[in-house]
């Protein structure tokens, strides 16, 4: 580890927290593959929020294909015997290497004003909910909860990341997800547009 300049690998997904912590501790540049759900881990999300790591570029729709040395039984549609490739879903690159696409603005075209009904507020947090990245309003200056897929297009020059729902400090039900009309929703990242 001490002799490397850049680490490129596929660590065991079960050890990714410890592995990323080690890379950060040694101040290594890296590109590693991991489950996209890793972004919801408190320790990992804090690094993303603090702009120390981010999602890299690639793997359309989170689908990655890998060659395996010893094919075994996989669920239908996972292993392709013709190509010898195994399909892994919901994976992405995690990195601290900057790249041009990371600074491309998300095109915003929807408006909050006049469409408030499309953006319900959370029952237990002062922010609006945005279900799809393409629906982020261009005229809303407050805090918005967006899906974790936001990180695929996140531009640190356009948005500030405040936190992730259950671990944001001022969540009155710390450790729990936000609710809309009494129903808990899937993980949301809290962001604000930069002025």
Say whether pLDDT at 190 is over 90: yes
pLDDT at 65: 84
* pLDDT tens digits, one per residue of 81-122: 888 888 888 888 999 999 999 999 999 999 999 999 999 999
Record the pTM: 0.87
Which residue in the block uniquely carries the two structure tokens 């696409």? 101
Say whether pLDDT at 61 is over 80: no
Which two three-digit tokens encode residue 107? 């095109």
pLDDT at 78: 83
Q: Rounded distance, CA 163 to CA 190, Å?
A: 5
Taking alpha carbons only, the member of 28, 32, 30, 26 closest to residue 11 is 32
pLDDT at 172: 85
Which of 32-36, 70-74, 83-87 tops mean pLDDT? 32-36
Least confident of 63-77, 123-137, 171-185: 63-77
Taking a C-beta distance cutoff of 8 angstroms, is the pair 127, 145 a contact? yes
* 153 dihedral zone (left: phi>0; alpha: psi -120 to 50; beta): alpha
* pLDDT tens digits, one per residue of 118-127: 999 999 999 9
Rg (CA), the chain: 19
Q: How far is CA 166 from the centre of its chain?
A: 15
pLDDT band for position 58 (cuts 50, 70, 90): confident
> What single string gives the DSSP state of each residue in 35-102?
EGGGGGSHHHHHHHHTTS-EE-S--GGG-EEEE-SS-----TTTEETTTTEEEE-SEEEEES---GGG
């Amino acid at each position: 580890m001490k002799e490397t300049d850049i680490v490129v690998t596929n660590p065991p997904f079960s050890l990714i927290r410890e592995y990323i912590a080690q890379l950060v501790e040694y101040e290594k540049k890296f590109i590693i593959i991991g489950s996209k759900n890793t972004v919801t881990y408190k320790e990992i999300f804090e690094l993303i929020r603090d702009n120390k790591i981010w999602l890299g570029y690639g793997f359309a729709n989170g689908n990655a294909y890998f060659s395996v040395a010893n094919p075994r039984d996989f669920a239908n549609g996972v292993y392709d015997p013709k190509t010898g490739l195994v399909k892994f879903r919901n994976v992405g690159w995690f990195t601290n290497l900057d790249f041009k696409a990371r600074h491309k603005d998300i095109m915003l075209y929807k408006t909050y004003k006049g469409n408030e009904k499309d953006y319900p507020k959370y029952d237990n947090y002062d922010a609006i909910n945005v279900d799809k990245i393409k629906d982020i309003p261009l005229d809303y200056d407050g805090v918005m909860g967006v899906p974790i897929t936001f990180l695929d297009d996140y531009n640190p020059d356009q948005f500030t990341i405040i936190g992730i729902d259950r671990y944001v400090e001022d969540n009155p039900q710390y450790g729990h997800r936000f609710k809309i009309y009494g129903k808990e929703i899937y993980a949301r990242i809290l962001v604000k547009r930069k002025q």
